[in-house]
């Protein structure tokens, strides 16, 4: 019961065991999220040390939990997953709702940014009230009384807020699913933040296919392109969104050591240009753990600029010192720090505004 769970949870154990203890004590997914604990059974990915197929008893789990962190990581992942599912009859939806709740306000802000993104492609038209150009017949009377601005010229009109797009923008988000994301989540919650960021994107872009055609891929040591959301096929239900987040967590928990950030950026630039669009964007999310693999700021900047039609940048969500150094060494506008998901709406607003201005 609660006695052994509370005792084990007080021994300074890792987030995975604390999550299990919380679920066994009857905490709701919302309470678990509020405490910064993993929400999914797949978060508990470990080496399977049981061949018997028999779920361990609470006493067995408690005895394992009282050991070292290494012993904790040897717990039977299949048994834990089965227990968590059994303890949560609504597990298919409740965890996703628990992820949405903490960022609901941020989702609203980000959605407003996407809604306000202006059309890049605009037609030339007659611009009135000019001091030179072709005489505007509608201003003849004004000219008689001395008005100077009686001419018109062909040009591109000033951007109107929320002007209509003839084609949607194509956007590709490459999210970090590397081994360091899974390993580092216990230190600073980086994978949890990445999950929150993806939830914000899924919710903010919901129902906006007329403005944005987007895809999401994962990148890590095992692959530079793990499909999570395909272009033209955005998730429509909470269940589909839940599966995307769960898959992202699962990939991060099982990835091999290595880094494919540069290759992910190159592939993303090619993939986003496969279909004509109003504009093209690539956003590479990373935990900034790049120096370990010899990735220099200049190399990342080059990978983000293979084609002038694509507006690409990196968004760093962890390792503050490394992230700050990378951002300062890269060209202006190519790197942003989002150590807090609350920064994302402002970052996207700045990026879209800079594209229109140029």
pLDDT band, very low/low/confident/very high, at 143 (cuts 50, 70, 90): confident
Instruction: Quick: pLDDT tens for 217-254.
Output: 999 999 999 999 999 999 999 999 999 999 999 999 88
User: Which of 6-20, 59-73, 166-180 ranks highest by mean pLDDT?
Assistant: 166-180
pLDDT band, very low/low/confident/very high, at 93 (cuts 50, 70, 90): low
- 273 pLDDT higher than 90: yes
Contact assessment for residue 40 and residue 94, using Cβ atoms and an 8 Å cutoff: no
Q: Under 8 Å CB-to-CB from 35, ≥6 apart: which residues?
A: 18, 22, 27
| Across 44-53, 95-104, 148-157, 328-337, least confident range | 44-53
Phi/psi of residue 73, each to 5°?
-70, -10
Query: Average pLDDT of the chain?
Result: 77
Please state whether 88 falls in left (phi above 0), alpha (psi between -120 and 50) or beta.
beta
Name the strands in the sheet holding 151-156, side by side, starting at the edge strand that comes first in the sequence: 124-130, 151-156, 134-135
Name the strands in the sheet holding 310-316, side by side, starting at the edge strand that comes first in the sequence: 223-229, 212-220, 169-176, 280-286, 310-316, 335-337
Instruction: Quick: pLDDT tens for 200-215.
Output: 999 999 999 999 999 9
Contact assessment for residue 1 and residue 7, using Cβ atoms and an 8 Å cutoff: no
d(CA 290, CA 325): 11
d(CA 157, CA 164): 13
pLDDT band, very low/low/confident/very high, at 125 (cuts 50, 70, 90): low
Report which of residues 187 and 139 the model is more confident about: 187
Strands 280-286 and 212-220: unpaired
> By percentage, how much of the chain surpasses pLDDT 90?
55
d(CA 178, CA 253): 8
The confidence score (pLDDT) of residue 128 equals 79
Residue 48: CB atoms within 10 Å: 12
- 161 pLDDT higher than 50: no
d(CA 178, CA 219): 6
- 317 pLDDT higher than 60: yes
DSSP 338: -
Report which of residues 31 and 136 the model is more confident about: 136
Mean local confidence (pLDDT), 69-81? 36
């Amino acid at each position: 019961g609660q006695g052994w769970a509370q005792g084990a949870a007080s021994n300074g154990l890792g987030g995975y065991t604390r999550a299990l203890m919380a679920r066994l004590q009857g905490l709701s997914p919302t309470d678990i999220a509020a405490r910064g604990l993993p929400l999914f059974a797949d978060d508990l990915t470990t080496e399977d040390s049981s061949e018997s197929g028999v779920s361990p008893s609470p006493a067995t789990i408690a005895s394992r939990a009282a050991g070292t962190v290494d012993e904790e990581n040897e717990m039977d992942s299949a048994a834990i997953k089965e227990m968590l599912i059994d303890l949560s009859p609504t597990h298919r939806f409740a965890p996703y709702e628990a992820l949405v709740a903490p960022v609901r306000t941020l989702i609203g802000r980000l959605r407003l940014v996407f809604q306000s993104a202006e059309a890049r492609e605009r037609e030339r038209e007659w611009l009135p009230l000019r001091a030179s150009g072709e005489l505007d017949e509608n201003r003849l009377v004004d000219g008689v009384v001395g008005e100077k601005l009686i001419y018109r010229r062909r040009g591109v009109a000033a951007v109107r807020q929320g002007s209509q797009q003839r084609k949607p923008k194509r956007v590709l988000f490459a999210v970090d699913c590397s081994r360091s994301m899974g390993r580092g989540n216990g230190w600073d919650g980086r994978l949890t933040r990445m999950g929150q960021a993806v939830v914000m994107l899924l919710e903010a872009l919901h129902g906006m296919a007329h403005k944005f055609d987007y895809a999401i891929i994962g990148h890590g040591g095992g692959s530079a392109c793990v499909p999570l959301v395909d272009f033209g096929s955005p998730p429509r239900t909470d269940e589909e969104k839940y599966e995307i987040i769960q898959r992202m967590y699962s990939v991060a928990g099982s990835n091999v050591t290595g880094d494919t950030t540069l290759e992910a950026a190159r592939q993303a630039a090619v993939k986003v240009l496969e279909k004509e669009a109003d504009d093209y964007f690539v956003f590479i999310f990373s935990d900034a753990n790049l120096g370990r693999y010899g990735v220099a700021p200049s190399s990342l900047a080059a990978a983000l600029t293979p084609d002038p039609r694509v507006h690409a940048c990196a968004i760093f969500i962890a390792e503050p010192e490394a992230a700050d150094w990378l951002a300062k060494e890269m060209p202006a506008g190519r790197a942003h720090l989002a150590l807090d998901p609350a920064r994302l709406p402002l970052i996207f607003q700045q990026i879209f505004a800079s594209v229109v201005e140029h």
